[in-house]
Amino acid sequence: MFEKRLLAAAGKSIRTLYSQDFDLSRLTIEKTKKEIEGDYTLVVFPLLKLSRKNPEQTACELGEALMKELPEISTFKVIKGFLNLVLADDYWLGFLGSNFSKEDFGFSLVTRDEKVVLEYSSPNTNKPLHLGHIRNNLLGYSLSQILKATGYPVVKVNLVNDRGIHICKSMLAYARWGEGETPESSGIKGDKLIGKYYVLFDKKYKEEIKDLMEKGLTADEAALQSPLLLEAREILRKWEAHDPETVQLWKMMNGWAYKGFTETYKRLGVDFDHIYYESETYLLGKDLVLAGVENGALRQRDDGSIWIDLTSEGLDEKLLLRSDGTSVYMTQDLGTAQLRYDEYHPSQMIYVVGNEQNYHFDVLKRALLKLNKPYASRIFHLSYGMVELPEGKMKSREGTVVDADDLMEEMYSTAADMTRELGKASDFPAKEAEKLFEMIGLGALKYYILKVDPKKNMLFDPKESIDFNGNTGPFIQYTFARISSLITKAVSLQIPIVPGLPLSDYSLLPSEKETIKLLMSFPHVLQQSADELNPAIVANYVYELAKTFNQFYQEIPVLKEENPGLRQLRIRLSVFTASVIRKSLQLLGIGTPERM
C-alpha cells in the first residue's frame, strides 16, 4: 500500500533533513478531506521540536523532500501544519489498469492459521423466527463471509435451544388444548403452530395468576404456586428423566419447528456448517459443573443446587444446576463451549447474541476460567443492539413480534409494487420478475439492517428500506444493474475491453479520480470490517462507491466518448466498480440483478 511507502519515505526524509531518527508512530497519515485539494495528508506538528521552524516551513521542506523520494507525488499544498500531497494521475491510472480485471481483488489469497467458530441464529423451538432473529442471522452470515474473505477459516454453527422450561410451556399448552392439531391439518407452518401454543400458555398462565391474586396471594406467591408453571416444570423433569411419552411429544413438536426453521433460513439465504442441539450438549455441561464441585471451584447448597460465586469479582452468585438436577442455559453453554473446543480447537469462538445477554456471557467466561478451561479467553460475545419497530418493542409471549416469514413476504410485495410503479420490470417475463422482486425485497431488508453498527439499537421501518434513491439496498442494486447494462451495450457495439492496454497521459476528472480512490480502499475497508466484526463498514462503503459512480456516470460520457483511450479508461472504471459492488453485496448476503 502507498501509505506504507509514504511512511517509510517520511522517515528517511526526516533523518536527512534533521539528522535525527523519529518515532514514526507519532506521525499521522490520513486521507485528505474531500473539500481540500490532495490525496494524503501528513500532520507535521510532532516534528516542530526537530525542525525548530514554524509549521508551514516544516511542512514545505518535508513536502519537497518527499517529492524527491516518491515520483508518484506530483505536488503538495500546505495549510498550517498539514501537508497535503497530490499524487500524479499516472499513479491512479496504473492502479486501475493493473487491478480492474482481477476477480480476487481485495480478498486474501492466504489462509490464516486462526480458525474461527462463529455461532449465530440460536433459535428456541417454542416459537418461529422473528425480526430480532433476522438481525442475528444477517450479522452472523455476513461476518462469516467477511472473515473468510480476509483469510480466516470459519465454521458457521447454530445452537438450537430445543429443551428447557420454555419448550415445556408449549408442550403443556398443546397437550392441554391442542386436540391433535398438526401443521398439515391446520395449514400452519410448524414453527408458527408451536408459537401459537407458547402464546396460549402465557395467556392461560396470566389468567391463573390473576385468579390466585384475587384469592389473596401476592404476585410473587401466585407465580410460585401457579399449577400451570409447576406442571411445566414437572414436564421438564420428566424429559430429563427420559419419560417415553414426554420425549415422544417433544420430538414431534421439535420436528415441526426444525422444518419451519429450514424453510425460513433458505429464503433468508443463510446456512450453517454444523448445528448443535442443547439437548445433546447439556449433559456435558452437567459433567463440567459436577467436576467443578469436586475440585472446589463451585459450591453445592443444602438443597442440592449448584452455584458459582462471583461476588469477589463484582458480580453475584449464579445458578448452574437446579436443586432437582435440571440444567439451565449456562449449563448447556458450558458443555457446548467444551464440545466446540474439542472438535475444532479454534483460536476464537464468537457468539452473535443480543446485548440483553451481556451478563450471561460475562459469567460464562468467568465460569470457564474458574474451571481452568484454556479456551475461556478465546470466547468473544458479539453483542448487538435490539431491533424495534415504530410501534415499540416486540414480545414473543404476547405474540407481538414481527414474524420473519411474514416480513420477508411483505418486503417481496412492497418491492413488486414499487418496481412496477416505476416501470422497471415492465418487459420482464413473469418468472424473471418474481426473481427480481425477491432480490430487491430481501436486498432492501438486509442492507437496511446491516448498514447499522451492530452495537447500536435500531428502528426498522420497512417502507424506508425500499427506495431506489438514498442509502438503500435497491439504490446500490440499481447502480450495479446500470453498469451491467452499459457493459452489455459496449459488447453489442463491439467496443473491446482490453486488460493489457496501458492507460497513461490522461488527466483524470474529479469524479473519475474519486471513484478510483474508493476502489483502491476496498481491501482496507474489508480488513477493517473483519477486525471490528462490523459488516456496517462494508455496507456504508459500497453505498458511497455507488453514489460516487453515479455522479461520475451522470457527468461524463462513457460509450459516447470519441477518444478511444478515454472511452477505454471509463469502461474499465465501470467494470471495476461493478465487480467491487457485486463482491461487497455478496459479503452482505445480497444479490445483484443484471438488469432492473
The per-residue pLDDT for range 321-370, each reduced to its tens digit, is: 999 888 888 999 999 999 999 999 999 999 999 999 999 999 999 999 99
The per-residue pLDDT for range 91-120, each reduced to its tens digit, is: 999 999 889 989 999 999 899 999 999 999
Count Cα atoms within 13 angstroms, Cβ side, for 237. 10
- Are 96 and 516 within 8 A, CB to CB? yes
Answer whether residue 151 is part of any domain: yes
- Are 144 and 156 within 8 A, CB to CB? yes
Q: Are residues 369 and 506 in the same domain?
A: no
Q: What is the pLDDT of residue 462?
A: 79
CATH label of the domain that carries residue 513? 1.10.730.10
Helix or strand (DSSP H, E) at 353: strand 348-354
- Are 458 and 449 within 8 A, CB to CB? yes
Answer whether residue 138 is part of any domain: yes
Q: Please name the residue that has the C-alpha cell 425477491.
A: 438
- Rounded to the nearest 5 percent, the helix, strand and coil shares of the chain are 60, 10, 30
Q: What is the pLDDT of residue 396?
A: 42
Determine the residue type at 370. Answer: K
Q: Are residues 48 and 137 in the same domain?
A: no
Answer whether residue 398 is part of any domain: no
- Are 593 and 421 within 8 A, CB to CB? no
Given 355, 388, 421, the domain boundary residue is 388
- Residue 34: give the domain boundaries: 2-87
User: What is the rounded distance in angstroms from the CA atom of residue 157 to the CA atom of residue 115?
Assistant: 13
Q: Are residues 67 and 146 in the same domain?
A: no
User: What is the rounded distance in angstroms from the CA atom of residue 265 to the CA atom of residue 405?
Assistant: 10
Q: Are residues 141 and 282 in the same domain?
A: yes
Print the SS3 string covering 557-581.
CCCCCCCHHHHHHHHHHHHHHHHHH
DSSP-assigned letters across all residues of 399-443: T-S-BHHHHHHHHHHHHHHHHHHHTTTTTS-HHHHHHHHHHHHHH
Q: Are residues 369 and 455 in the same domain?
A: no
CATH label of the domain that carries residue 29? 3.30.1360.70
Q: Are residues 232 and 276 in the same domain?
A: yes
Answer whether residue 114 is part of any domain: no
Q: Are residues 153 and 240 in the same domain?
A: yes
From the CB of residue 545, how many other CB atoms can be counted at a distance below 10 Å? Answer: 23
Answer whether residue 96 is part of any domain: no
Answer whether residue 97 is part of any domain: no
Cell of 342: 474439542
- Report residue 375: phi and psi, to 5°: -95, 5
Report yes or no on whether pTM surpasses 0.75. Answer: yes
Q: Are residues 383 and 416 in the same domain?
A: no
Q: Please name the residue that has the C-alpha cell 474458574.
A: 370
Answer whether residue 396 is part of any domain: no
Confidence bin at 398 (pLDDT 50/70/90): very low
Confidence bin at 286 (pLDDT 50/70/90): very high
Count of domains for the chain = 3
Handedness of CA 87, 93, 98, 99 (dihedral sign): positive
Q: Are residues 423 and 564 in the same domain?
A: yes
Answer whether residue 99 is part of any domain: no
Radius of gyration of the chain measured on its C-alpha atoms: 30
Residue with more model confidence, 469 or 48:
48
Say whether 547 sits in a helix, a strand or coil. Answer: helix
Q: Are residues 384 and 251 in the same domain?
A: yes
User: What is the rounded distance in angstroms from the CA atom of residue 479 to the CA atom of residue 487?
Assistant: 13
CATH label of the domain that carries residue 269? 3.40.50.620
User: What is the rounded distance in angstroms from the CA atom of residue 564 to the CA atom of residue 567?
Assistant: 5
Q: Are residues 225 and 146 in the same domain?
A: yes
First-last CA distance in the chain: 36
Given 66, 87, 108, the domain boundary residue is 87
Q: What is the pLDDT of residue 399?
A: 46
Residue 463 has pLDDT above 90, yes or no: no
Q: Are residues 414 and 382 in the same domain?
A: no
User: What is the rounded distance in angstroms from the CA atom of residue 123 to the CA atom of residue 474?
Assistant: 29
